[in-house]
Structure 1
Amino acid sequence: MSPGSSFRIRLDGGSGAGAADPVSPRPFHQRRRNRHGRGLRGELLPAHLAGSRTRAERFDEWVMESAQRLERLWGEDIQSYQFVVQEIPDGLEELVRRGGSIPLASSAPGKGPKPPVITVYRRPVEWTARGLVPVSELIHDVVVEQLAALKGMDPESIDPTYGRFRPL
């Protein structure tokens, strides 16, 4: 090498224990490891496992399963219904203030081009189940009750398994 050329000598031996490279320091979020050497953390559970879904996502899935169960029993007649999940009923504070019971679901018949709607309230259903009844079965019973009210039938005639998980 000529006497005027510049070159660098790395004194830390390449182990990363010395001073950071002054030419191109990477921001913290782009490094492969954090300062304690633990590395970037990934997901605790892969997305395809049941534990990775939130309670709201599981609840939505149970409502869908209930609708599919009814579709197997009633065929295409159920496809015209719309199933909605809502956190709590509208006007819940006023209802509690008056001393009324908290509804688990509501239904509205179809008018013109609008389909009939069955709305299931997530928080009241979860609170009512409280480990006494499987939440998925309580959801199905609530959906069956609302469908029976819309059709003007008994819940047992909608689904013969209605109420089998209810405590006596």
Structure 2
Amino acid sequence: MDEPTRRHLARGEPRRDRRGRGFRGPLVLPGPLSGGRQARRRSPAAAFDTLVGAAVDRLRAHLPGEIDHVQFGVEETPLLPDDWTGEVPLATHVRADRVRDARVVVYRLPMSQRVRGRADTAGLVLDVLVEEIAELLGHDPDDVDPRLRPA
């Protein structure tokens, strides 16, 4: 994920509407029955980013110091070759080298197409992150999963 995108996601700002197909005004106008300020509905991408962030925070608390130098990112879909015939990956990891820290990238659309609802998505995100981190660190997934062993 490039630096401007990472900064954009970190601030939680809405993404730019490049084609003019988004909403042109507020969904609810202020009035006597609508109360004060209306809450904005978050985009599915922003909600997914929040789920990934919560899962990463939970894993960092469970594995203090072990994944401090791992960067986490979210992409829409993986870049696959045209002749790809296998299952679409839900995430990938890249080991650290001399220049860069280790990275784990979670793919939003393949995950959201496999589950329904926020709770199922949160569970799948945590499952996938546990598998990727376990493989990255060389641990058993049962040792990495915070649901199996209290921190």
TM-score (ref. length: structure 2): 0.69
Describe the shift of the 1:54–1:152 C-alpha distance in structure 2 as closer, same or farther (beyond 3 A): same
**Equivalent residue for 1:66, pick from 46, 55, 61:** 55
Q: 1:108 aligned to 2:94?
A: yes
Q: What residue is the counterpart of 2:116 in the other structure?
A: 130
Q: Is the 8 A contact 1:71 1:78 kept in 2?
A: yes
Q: Is the 8 A contact 1:92 1:102 kept in 2?
A: no
Q: 1 CA distance for matches of 2:81 and 2:49?
A: 21
Q: Is the 8 A contact 1:84 1:118 kept in 2?
A: yes
Describe the shift of the 1:84–1:58 C-alpha distance in structure 2 as closer, same or farther (beyond 3 A): same
Cα-Cα RMSD: 2.1
Q: How many residues align?
A: 115
Describe the shift of the 1:67–1:160 C-alpha distance in structure 2 as closer, same or farther (beyond 3 A): closer
SS of aligned partner of 2:93: strand
Q: Is the 8 A contact 2:62 2:146 kept in 1?
A: no
| One-letter identity of the residue aligned with 1:70 | L
Q: What residue is the counterpart of 2:132 in the other structure?
A: 146
Describe the shift of the 1:100–1:42 C-alpha distance in structure 2 as closer, same or farther (beyond 3 A): closer
Q: 2 CA distance for matches of 1:137 and 1:92?
A: 29
Q: 1 CA distance for matches of 2:46 and 2:68?
A: 21
Q: 1:55 aligned to 2:48?
A: no
Query: Mind listing any 5+ residue stretches in structure 1 that lack a counterpart?
Result: 1-40, 163-168
Q: What residue is the counterpart of 1:5 in the other structure?
A: none
In the TM superposition, residue 85 of structure 1 has moved relative to its aligned partner by 0.5
| One-letter identity of the residue aligned with 1:122 | R
**Equivalent residue for 1:75, pick from 40, 60, 64:** 64
Q: 2 CA distance for matches of 1:75 and 1:83?
A: 16
Describe the shift of the 1:123–1:157 C-alpha distance in structure 2 as closer, same or farther (beyond 3 A): same
In the TM superposition, residue 161 of structure 1 has moved relative to its aligned partner by 2.0
Q: Is the 8 A contact 2:59 2:146 kept in 1?
A: no
Q: What residue is the counterpart of 2:39 in the other structure?
A: 46
User: Quick check: which has more Rg, 1 or 2?
Assistant: 1
| One-letter identity of the residue aligned with 2:76 | E
Query: Mind listing any 5+ residue stretches in structure 2 that lack a counterpart?
Result: 1-24, 29-37
Tell me which of the two structures has the higher relative contact order, counting C-alpha pairs closer than 8 angstroms and 6 or more residues apart. Answer: 2
| One-letter identity of the residue aligned with 1:108 | V
Q: Which runs of 4+ in 1 moved over 4 A?
A: none
